[in-house]
Amino acid sequence: MSELFVRHALEAAAFSPVAADAYRSLLRDAHEALDLADVPSTDRRVWIVPGRIEVLGKHVDYAGGRSLLCTVERGIVIVARKRNDRTVVLRDARRREAISLALDSTTRGSVPWAIYPRTVVNRLRRNFGDRMAGADLALASNLPPAAGVSSSSALTVGLTLAFAALFDLPSDALWQQALPDRTALAGYAGALENGMDYGVLGGDRGVGTMGGAQDQTAILCSAPGRLEMFSWAPVCFERSVAWPSTHTFVVGVSGVVAAKTGAAKERYNRAARTAHHLVQAWNATGGVPVHTLRDAFFAAAGENPLDEVPSALMAAAQAAATAEFSAGHLVARLGQFFDETFVIVPRAADALDRADLTEFGRLVDKSQAGAERALENQIAETVHLQRYARELGATAASAFGAGFGGAVWAMVPTADAERFATRWRDKYLRVHHGAAHRALFFQTGPSMPVFEVV
């Protein structure tokens, strides 16, 4: 693929000059990794897969809530080509690591990140059988890993699209039945990671986290210059709002790894298990069984307006207290889910529509406070990053992603973004100097969804 062709493709994607240059570098690295392995240069296919910002909608997707999302101008480049055997070889150009996965084995590989390609391969093999074959792939990424910007979901989405294209999975009758559009594909990609069934497509082991489809939906279904509102379980597009052309995101990566392995995975899954426990508590009251926390709210409200946490659901939560889930924790989680889903997200979208940025900032502050109070996933670094951003004049700021580390976004006037980023970084590192070697600050606007460079 010629440099000129790539340049035109990136310009057509409306990336900023800085982002386009970065993607060109990633593309060169990924192609070079295949060149060094003597993979033929013909018939290669290329995808650009962005990370995402969860603007609002903290820990609600697996519970049927509502989120406001966009992608960032950083991501993963994947270059792929068919092989003539039944082995998948994936090379990380920047880590200079490679893994080899036999299609007819379920072994997960020797490096930690091998769990993601193995999960994709296993699930596609389970659902689409012998259409799958071997492939050579190379990736190069400028997404900070384990930082809340969905580097792992970007990898699983990108690999799913690459294998689907290489082996023409969309022509399969089962694919056409279950995955008619990108919204459905996002739901499937979420199920691929959490291991659950997706309609007629049976589940598999997954990666071990009890997440939903928020990250995958943002990566597949975003639009440049806009924030997208979705509700979950199932994935449902609700509305799109314009991002103010006068403002940009500055993302501050705390430098504290938001890992989803070992004890960190258990802490992440606790937030999901709390939501599932509340659903079980409501179902134990004897009404019509529900499957999501959102549906429990509607069932408990009945014919009454849903303008607060229904008293019947509150009572069910208090009665369901256990040694693991105290009554206070369950009630706080109900409040956080209600505020995020039924108040903050829709009103924040309304505020952006009418250019009321003061109200938008107030609602984002309310979301951050709810995470600190009820989700138990904030740490000193992310709390301080959010506070410092507001003190330095950010229009709005919030931690995002799984928590227990990760990043914070700040909304600032574009004209002041560079100065703001420097001041924000300096203020943060004066207090958290131990994070200096991992902390990262970058600017981005709402960007493109994943696309193939053709």
Q: Which residue has the higher pLDDT, 337 or 9?
A: 337
CA distance 61 to 153: 14
Residue of 56, 57, 59 lying closest to 275 (CA atoms): 59
CA distance 374 to 153: 25
Dihedral, CA of residue 234, residue 75, residue 377 and residue 443, to nearest 10: -120
Tell me if 9 is assigned to some domain.
Answer: yes
Q: Which residue has the higher pLDDT, 107 or 11?
A: 107
Determine the structural domain holding residue 31 and report its residue range: 3-244+448-453
Tell me if 438 is assigned to some domain.
Answer: no
User: In 3-state terms, what secondary structure has residue 79?
Assistant: strand
pLDDT in tens, 354-410: 999 999 999 999 999 999 999 989 999 999 999 999 999 999 999 998 888 999 999
How much is the pLDDT for 404?
87
Q: CB-side exposure of 99: number of CA atoms within 13 Å?
A: 19
CA distance 103 to 124: 10
Q: Which two tokens stand for residue 448?
A: 């493109």
Dihedral, CA of residue 111, residue 114, residue 116 and residue 122, to nearest 10: -150
Tell me if 89 is assigned to some domain.
Answer: yes
Tell me if 285 is assigned to some domain.
Answer: no
How much is the pLDDT for 5?
43
| Mean pLDDT, residues 313-327 | 96
**Total count of residues recorded for the chain:** 454
Backbone angles phi, psi at 345, to 5 degrees: -60, -50
How much is the pLDDT for 105?
84
Q: Which two tokens stand for residue 441?
A: 């600050």
Find the angle CA(299)-CA(305)-CA(307) to the nearest 5 degrees.
100
How much is the pLDDT for 419?
98
Backbone angles phi, psi at 319, to 5 degrees: -75, -15
CA distance 190 to 157: 9
Tell me if 47 is assigned to some domain.
Answer: yes
Tell me if 32 is assigned to some domain.
Answer: yes
User: Does the pLDDT of residue 326 top 80, yes or no?
Assistant: yes
Q: Give me the CATH number covering residue 68.
A: 3.30.230.10
pLDDT-derived band at 445 (thresholds 50, 70, 90) equals: very high
| Overall pTM surpassing 0.85 (yes/no) | yes
pLDDT-derived band at 299 (thresholds 50, 70, 90) equals: very high
Cα-only R_g, the chain: 22
Q: Whole-angstrom distance between the N-terminal and C-terminal Cα of the chain?
A: 9
Q: What is the mean pLDDT of the chain?
A: 93
Structural domains in the chain (count): 1
Tell me if 18 is assigned to some domain.
Answer: yes
pLDDT in tens, 113-170: 899 999 999 999 999 988 999 999 999 999 999 899 999 999 999 999 999 999 999 9
Hey, how many other C-beta atoms are within 10 angstroms of the C-beta on 304? 11
How much is the pLDDT for 8?
46
Pairing of strands 87-92, 396-400: unpaired
Tell me if 141 is assigned to some domain.
Answer: yes
How much is the pLDDT for 4?
46
Q: Which two tokens stand for residue 187?
A: 């739901």
How much is the pLDDT for 268?
76
Cis preceding-peptide flag for 117 (omega within 30 of 0): no
